[in-house]
A and B are shown apart, each in its own frame.
Chain A
Amino acid sequence: MSFFPMAKTVLKSMFKKPVTRRYPFVVRPYFKNTRGKIKVDINLCSFCGICQKKCPTAAIKVGRNEKKWRIDRLRCIACGYCVDSCPKKCLSMENEYSKPVIDRTKDIY
């Protein structure tokens, strides 16, 4: 039967720096592989519509005639299926999440 097994941990944490970060003054650096926003290079896009078919949440809408590519950021789950299946390789995934928004608008390119 030990005497105060928690004592060692308590003494260590009294003398160490706090583990928590003072967000928003100190921001955690993102990892290289983190899944984040989808970015499109609109000059390379051929408006074929494959990304719209593959998207599991129907967040992407492609207008072939009016040459517009729309994404609803709130519906996107950052799975990367569209990035894998684009034939022109114009979609890429950044490693930062989309920032919080106040109203629901779509991004149109």
Chain B
Amino acid sequence: MSKRTIIPFGPQHPVLPEPIHLDLVLEDEKVVEAIPKIGFIHRGLERLVEKKDFLDFVYVAERICGICSFIHGLTYCVALEQIMKIEVPPRSQYLRTIWSELSRIHSHLMWLGLIADAFGFESLFMHCWRLRENILDIIEETTGGRVIFGSAKIGGVRKDIAEDKLAEIVAKLGIYEREIREITNVFIKDSSVKHRLVGVGVLTKDEVYKLGAVGPTLRASGVAMDMRKLGYAAYNKINFEPIVETSGDSYSRCQVRIRELFQSIDIIRQCVSKIEEGPIEAAVTGLPNGEFFARTEQPRGEVIYYAKADGTRFLKRLRVRTPTFANLPALIKMLKGCELADVPVLVLTIDPCISCTER
């Protein structure tokens, strides 16, 4: 006779980067159900639009999350530029793309380190984060901050990157690429890593689309959907294809992120070769009036910003639907039927960014 026990997982747990609470209902080491609860870092940022000017709110939007911070600021600017019908100059589009891809590289390197830590491979975790320091140094040289960039602005960007600096960045990325390839080789080929990841948390193509999952979780099961194909910033001038794997387990989610890393380095090379001279900002006049849904691709998936303005300096409503919020139902489905020891690994494969989820 198997007995049912309820074990609380979180909010404080060594493997979780941010607090989330899951009540796991267990029958003899197999998880039968998982019930999530959130609200530990709710800061009420959506109500702050009523007090802050729409121009000043970029600084708040960037600080919603520490890892995907530039793309939050970028999506807010894209939403307001579409409402106010501002044309952004092409040089700043390319600069925005370069910074977005640098964000993606550092976020995926951080995730690789965390997943190695989740199954106990601490030295691999430290090596991934050592490589991430190099990328953070590039970002600090060009924008001034390691994590919070401070360079998104409605109408363009705040800082420029000189031509020789761009060439230096490409040269450095070439050197780092060799080192990153050595480390990611371990993820792909090592037998202890494979033992923990292959066949764990399988989601079929149909299931994952109907559950509304986004990002690498969706692409690892065979659905080729990448919001960068919409063509915001300079993505409509760059050649790239969404990366898709077909198995749908944790190993393919890991592989999708590793291949996206190398694709980002390639996108930065293409941007630097195609960038044009010109101004980096456009003048902002008037007040916003209207509404728009802005969609971009963060490292974790698709983020939707809904902005509604009514002609005053304060926006009427700003709603941020972050990718981790959309991946939560997929997580609950994955956890049914797995072993208790696999729970930390599965929670980390959807790349939870709870401070985004709870704004």
Contacts and interface: CB of A to CB of B under 8 A. Distances in A.
A binds B: yes
Interface of A: 1-2, 5-6, 8-10, 13, 19, 31-35, 56, 77-80
A34 B140 contact: yes
Nearest to A8: B182
Summarize B's interface: helix, strand, loop or mixed.
helix
A54 B268 CA distance: 34
B123 A10 contact: yes
B150 A79 contact: yes
Contact of B150 (A5, A8, A80): A80
Contact of B144 (A2, A5, A9, A35): A35
A9 B150 contact: no
A77 to B, nearest CB: 7
Given A8-B182, A19-B130, A56-B59, A35 B145 contact: yes
Interface in B185-200: 185-186, 189-191
Contacts of B317: none
What range describes how many residues of B lie at the interface?
Answer: 20 to 34
Given A32-B141, A56-B52, 10 more contacts: A5-B186, A9-B186, A13-B127, A19-B130, A31-B140, A33-B140, A33-B141, A34-B145, A35-B144, A80-B144
Nearest to A30: B140
A78 B130 CA distance: 27
Contacts of B130: 19
B185 A5 contact: yes
B127 A9 contact: yes
A6 to B, nearest CB: 5
Contacts of B123: 6, 10
Given A9-B183, A34-B140, A79 B59 contact: yes
A78 B191 CA distance: 47
A10 B127 CA distance: 10
A33 B143 contact: yes
B247 interface: no
A6 B124 contact: yes
B175 to A, nearest CB: 15
B182 A9 contact: yes
A77 B144 CA distance: 12
Contacts of B60: 56
B142 interface: yes
Contacts of A6: 123-124, 186, 190
B50 interface: no
Nearest to B145: A35
Contacts of A13: 127
A5 B190 contact: yes
Nearest to A32: B141
A31 B141 contact: yes
Contacts of A19: 130
Nearest to A6: B186
A6 B182 CA distance: 9
A9 B124 CA distance: 9
Nearest to B141: A31
13 contacts: A1-B191, A5-B185, A8-B182, A9-B182, A10-B123, A31-B140, A31-B141, A33-B140, A33-B141, A35-B144, A35-B150, A78-B145, A80-B150
A31 B140 CA distance: 7
Interface in B121-180: 123-124, 127, 130, 137, 140-145, 150, 158-159
